[in-house]
Structure formats: structure tokens, C-alpha cells
Amino acid sequence: MTDNIIVSREIHLKQRPKGFPTEENFEIVQVDIPEPKEGEFLVRNIWMSLDPHMRIYMAKGTGIMPAYQLNKPPSGGCVGQVIESRNDKFKAGEYVLGNSGWREYWVSKGNGDSNGQDIVKVDPKMAPIQYFLGILGITGFTAYVGLLKIGQLREDVDTVFVSTAAGGVGSIACQIAKIKGCYVVGSTGSKDKVEWLLNQAKVDYAFNYKKLGAGSEDNNNNSISSELKDAFPNGIDLYFDNVGGRHLEAAIVNMNTFGRIVLCGATSQYSSISVADDNDKFPQYQGPSNLHLAISNRLRLQGFLYSDHYDILDEFQTSMSKWIKEDRIKWKETLYEGLENAPKAFIGLFKGENFGRTLVKIGSDNAS
Amino acid sequence: MTDNIIVSREIHLKQRPKGFPTEENFEIVQVDIPEPKEGEFLVRNIWMSLDPHMRIYMAKGTGIMPAYQLNKPPSGGCVGQVIESRNDKFKAGEYVLGNSGWREYWVSKGNGDSNGQDIVKVDPKMAPIQYFLGILGITGFTAYVGLLKIGQLREDVDTVFVSTAAGGVGSIACQIAKIKGCYVVGSTGSKDKVEWLLNQAKVDYAFNYKKLGAGSEDNNNNSISSELKDAFPNGIDLYFDNVGGRHLEAAIVNMNTFGRIVLCGATSQYSSISVADDNDKFPQYQGPSNLHLAISNRLRLQGFLYSDHYDILDEFQTSMSKWIKEDRIKWKETLYEGLENAPKAFIGLFKGENFGRTLVKIGSDNAS
């Protein structure tokens, strides 16, 4: 496609955030992209997505979790188009979903991109390509894998609790569980989101955990537990945990025997890791003090990452695109235009400015 | 067999223990045993077993865990002989394993005894009948189910960590894992037990967690973690958790991806429940503050009770009796004579007087 050197703009992590991220933590730089070697191909990014969990990797790292390198672009979901290829499996013009966001161009090795992550093709005929960064992508796939494969959801039987229920993953988990005929309760952090859950996602019940009883936001596990006790008179069969900490503790005490807790993680986990190396404003992570109930109640808690489960990606995309066509799934997106606005989009996640999936449009959707 | 009223001696729970149990918490009483009705049968107990976890059920109960009733015999493992039967499946002269210890005689309904627990026959030709209360019974079966069915032990592959490794369940778990060709490390609380583990149970490495580094007994999770890091240079694949709390936290940080943590429970769990209603001397239960690592490392934590897994009881007894005959399993028993000594035997568990399985001989092993 091109014999010229390609100059790509990238957002680099300039400083590790102290507490909430700011624009000063990032800078935009220009880099030369090397020609793809044998087996490699060049991708032009069109969309990138932003997740709160990226904040974890911006911290220094604990020896357990990898950290983003300074003066390099962070990794993160992106959809782009192959514009030059020396790999038989990925042809110029095809669209791919990768983990090399925060930049305009990048070179992939095929099954292992520069971040060692898998890369998959996406079909633009199935849906607009940015859907593969959300409802049809990692977000939807995480909800699907967590609920059906890890959680082993029993259709028409299970009672399901979802925390961060109005979030990207949570909102889809709620709706898949409803489609599967389950009783679904969601926890979220604002009145608007409670209303969205009840009226759009059509969950059976939703509550604002910040407004429960007399407990403050930092000390309300008893009120979450009471709320769950009322919402689940027959107990919880499956808890889709996006939070950990107090929500997890409150769920454990309300689980039925042989209940399953899907550890998808989110807010609570960011804190303890970030706390390790800066004056973070997040609260300390709290381990569930009632985990011993997992023995008498025969609970299973299981952590997972979507990237181990590509064997059911086709099944997921077929089901999800059908549900979208049938208008059985609602979701929200907050869109930002231009790579240079990626830091602003990311910061927006922590200001509560963004509702639903946060996306940045990096380039136009035309073959170059 | 008898038309006379049978008078049975029973040990009743007279008072709920405050802290460690004492003789005053129990009393021995005589009761009349009713004639078995249609479908029922009368059992004369020969052996009973005692476990530390009985202490939990002696507390008032929390609404979550059942409590033993006052002025009734606690439940607990027993082996006895059917002496009169109106149930076609259980004939006079046959031996059974039940959950109605602490008494001389009891009437069973067959598949659900007076405590709603399952009852199973035992074969006295396979091994001395008291083995069914230990190595061939609940203790061995718990280790077998936990390791192989819940933990999905990979023969010749997994690295295995066992806490309370010299205890009834722990010592058998260690040895099954060794028989299955795994690398096994045990944690225990005394020098003698470390030596027993190394010389008798033949684990690859054992340590006394009370004597680690500079940390005190109450604040040594870092030293447990360091010890595990040294003992498992390639990480832990399977942790058989008999303790919870600090051991669990230290194990989590050393787990390999896709590691499995079998929550078999023990010491830590007794505390938080007992603490609920008395001035217990046990420390407070501590939830693992690093549970979020279960997500990035895709860990599975699963609680279980042996009583859900009778489908593999035959398989277990066949394997275990073979291993015993081949002298591949070592175990220890502490024996007490006479029902009246059951409280003393139970108290001995908390004084560190008993090593291995604690048994009480209640009656002679001859058909009446």
C-alpha cells in the first residue's frame, strides 16, 4: 500500500498518576512506524476504547501486575484496518480487533501483537466496527464469558446479582441474564443509573448503593447486605462481581448453597494496587471477612479474563448480533473525536462524566 | 433383637463454651430409645470421632450456620452396628457410618438420619471399622474429594501446598498428592509435626509457620508468603486450605495462573463465628486483602463438604484401602475409652494433646 515511512501519532504515559489521572500524565508524540517484516502486518486504528481498569496499569506495578511503561503508549482495545500485510492470514483491507489503542498505526505479528495479546478479525457486515470494542467486543464478551462459561448460568432458574450494573460489562451481564429468563438485581451508584437499569435494561430491581440506610459510602456493607436480603428472598445463585470489597462481602452472606461468584473485578481492585505507590484517593481493598461461608455454602469464586475464552467468541458474536437486531439489548456509548482527546476521555471515566462505553474515534473508516 | 426398652447414655451440650470448651459444658444423661418404626432401624454405636470444627456448632449460631441444640447430643461422626431393623436396605448385623456420635444408641430412618444426614454402610472386611471415621471415612474422603474432585489435581504436574498439613485431613491430602506424583509442601505448627511430615508423610518440604522470620504468630503473613516463595520457585498450582486467613492471603500471592484453591476450612473460620456470641480467644477472621489477584491470575476458590460427593465414595474406599495395604499412607490416631470421656477427648483437641485423628470407643465390636 505504501513505500513511504509512516508517521504515527501516539499518546504516551509521561508520568504515573497520583490519585485521579490528569492531562499532565500524558503527552502526544510522533513516531516512525517500521515496515512490516515477513509474517507481520500494518494496522491503521479507527477506534479505541477506554476502561477504568487501565488506571491499575498506570501505577508502578507490584511485581505481580504488569505496569504500563513510561514514555510508551499504554495498551488498550482498538479496532483498525490492515493496510499492508506480509501475513497470509490477515489481508490488506480486513478489519481487526487488537490491544494496541492510544496510537494511530501499529505493526502486528498476527496471533501475538506487540503486547503479546491475541488479535482477531472483525466482520464489518455484522455490525458497525466500533461495536466490537463494546457490545460485540471485549465488554460484551466479558459479560457473556463471565455469566455463561464461568458462572454457568442456569437458564430460567438462577437469581442473579450484578454490581456496577450500569457499567459497560455490568449492563450487558444484566441483560443477558434477563434474556436467559433469570431474576436480575443490579447495584449502581446514581439515581439516573438506577432508572436506566429499570427502564432500559429492564432488570427486576436496582438500587443505589450510595444511598442505602444510614451507612456512609465507606461503611455500608451491612446496608448492602440488608438490601440484598430484601431483593433476594430466596437467596442469590450467581453474583457477577465487578467491585469486590464490601459488595462481595454483602453478596457472600446472601448466596445460596452451590452459588457461583464470578470475579470480573473492577473498582476495588484498582485501589489496593494504586495505593501501593501513590497517595491514591481510592479506599483500601477489603478482603471478604466472611469467606469461610464459602465452605459451608459450597460457593465457587472464580476469576477470569475474556482473553482465555476465544473458543466461544464466534458463538458470542452470533448470539449478541442476533439480540442486537431483535432490540433485546440496550447500551450506551460516550464518544470522543480525535486521538488527542484520549486523555480527556480517560479522565472522564473518573469524573463520572461518561455513561456506558467510552470510545475515541482515531481515524476515518475508509481503506487508505 | 430386643423387645425391651433400650436405655442409652448420651453426652448433652449443657452450656455453650466461652472460649475453649471445658468439662462443665457437657453432661452425661440417660434416655429411652424408641422402637424403630416401619423403615427405621436401631444402631448401637461402637466408635465416635471428634473434630475441632464441632466448636463452631457449639456457639449460638449466626442465622447462617446451624448450632447444636442445648440439652441434646451434638451430631458427629460415628460407626455402629444395626441391631434391629424395619428397613429392607439395612439389616441387623450390618455396620453403618453415621453422623450421630456422642450417644450409645440411635434410630435411623435410612437415607436421612435424625440429623438429616446421609448414612452409609461400611464393610468390616475392608478394614477395622474405626478406619471409616478417619483414613477411610470422612477425614480421608474429605482430603480425596478436595484434592481430586474440587481441586482437579493434575497427576505428576501440580505443585501442591497444604496448610494444617499434619492434621487429619491435611496429612492425608499431602500423601494422596505425593502418591499422585506431585511436589508437596506442608505448613504446620510445631517442630514435631514438621518432622512427622518430612519423615512419615514424606512431603517434599514442611515448615513451622509459628517460627517464621521476625513476625509474631499474629502477624506473619509476609513470612508465610516469603516461605512459600522459596518453597515454590515455580509457583503453587493447588492450595488445599485448611486455615483461611493469613495462610490464604500468603498462598494467593504465590499462586500460578489458573491455580485452584480448595477451601476445606478449619481454624480461621471457627473464630469469626464463635466471636459472634462469646469472648472467644481465637483471633478475628481476616479476609484475603489480595483476592483481586484471583482475576488477573484466573484463580478458582471453591468451598466444599464431603457429604455432597458420595458418588465417588466407593472409588475413594477402593483406592484408599489399596494404598493402606501397600503401606503408602501413614496416619495417627489418639484413642479415648468410654462415652463418658468424649468431652475430655474433645477438649484435648484444643490443648494440642491429640495428634492425628481423635476417636472415642463407645461400645464393643460384637453383635448384641
On whether both B152 and B239 belong to a single domain, the answer is yes
Q: Print the domain residue range for A21.
A: 6-134+332-361
DSSP-derived 3-state class of residue A109? coil
* A4: amino acid identity, one letter: N
The verdict on B7 touching A (C-beta cutoff 8 Å) is no
- Cβ contact B265:B256 at 8 Å: no
Whether B88 is covered by a domain: the verdict is yes
Q: Give A336's strand partners.
A: A360
Cα of A287 to nearest chain B Cα, Å? 4
Whether A324 is covered by a domain: the verdict is no
Cα of A126 to nearest chain B Cα, Å? 31
d(CA A120, CA A126): 14
Whether B315 is covered by a domain: the verdict is no
Report whether pLDDT(A278) > 50: no
**Which of the two residues, A317 and A44, has the higher pLDDT score?**
A44
- Cβ contact A367:A93 at 8 Å: yes
On whether both B70 and B210 belong to a single domain, the answer is no
**Which of the two residues, B250 and A55, has the higher pLDDT score?**
B250
Region A299-320 average pLDDT? 93
Residues of B in contact with A268 (CB under 8 A): 292
On whether both A24 and A145 belong to a single domain, the answer is no
Whether B351 is covered by a domain: the verdict is yes
Q: Is the ipTM above a cut-off of 0.90?
A: no
Mutate to test the interface with B, among A268, A292, A302, A305 (most CBs of B within 10 A): A292
A 264-293 → B contacts, CB under 8 A: 264-265, 268-269, 272-273, 284-293
d(CA A26, CA A46): 20
Contact B289 A300 (CB under 8 A): no
B 68-127 → A contacts, CB under 8 A: none
On whether both B71 and B149 belong to a single domain, the answer is no
Contact B287 A285 (CB under 8 A): no
Taking only the tens of pLDDT, chain B with its 368 residues reads 445 689 999 999 999 998 889 999 999 999 999 999 999 999 999 999 998 878 888 887 654 457 899 999 999 999 999 999 999 999 999 999 998 999 999 999 876 544 445 688 888 988 889 999 999 988 899 999 999 999 999 999 999 999 989 888 999 999 999 999 999 999 998 899 999 999 999 999 999 998 876 444 445 556 899 999 999 999 999 999 998 888 999 999 999 999 999 999 755 445 444 443 343 333 345 788 889 889 989 999 999 998 899 899 889 989 999 999 999 999 888 899 999 999 999 998 877 677 778 999 999 986 43
On whether both B350 and B266 belong to a single domain, the answer is no
CATH of the domain at B271: 3.40.50.720
The pLDDT assigned to A116 comes to: 46
On whether both B95 and B230 belong to a single domain, the answer is no
The verdict on B64 touching A (C-beta cutoff 8 Å) is yes
Contact A289 B291 (CB under 8 A): no
Residue B252's closest chain A neighbor by CA? A64
On whether both B150 and B298 belong to a single domain, the answer is yes
On whether both B166 and B55 belong to a single domain, the answer is no
Residues of A in contact with B152 (CB under 8 A): none
On whether both B285 and B342 belong to a single domain, the answer is no
Look over chain A and give the mean of its residue pLDDT values, rounded to a whole number: 86
Domain count, chain A: 2
Question: Strand pairing of B357-361 and B333-337?
Answer: parallel
Contacts of B77 by beta carbon, 8 Å cutoff, 6+ apart: B48, B49, B51, B97, B98, B99, B101, B133, B137, B138
Whether A206 is covered by a domain: the verdict is yes
CATH of the domain at B93: 3.90.180.10
Contact B263 A291 (CB under 8 A): yes
- Cβ contact B113:B289 at 8 Å: no
B303 → closest Cβ in A65, A244, A295:
A295
On whether both B124 and B150 belong to a single domain, the answer is no
* Domain boundary residue, one of A307, A323, A342: A307
Cα of B95 to nearest chain A Cα, Å? 28
pLDDT in tens, A146-203: 999 999 999 999 999 999 898 889 999 999 999 999 999 999 988 999 999 999 999 9
Whether B314 is covered by a domain: the verdict is no
Whether A262 is covered by a domain: the verdict is yes
Cα of B296 to nearest chain A Cα, Å? 7
On whether both A163 and A220 belong to a single domain, the answer is yes
Whether B321 is covered by a domain: the verdict is no
On whether both B178 and B273 belong to a single domain, the answer is yes
Measured CA distances, A48 to A6, A100, A129, A359, B285 (Å) = 20, 8, 11, 6, 44
Contact A272 B263 (CB under 8 A): no
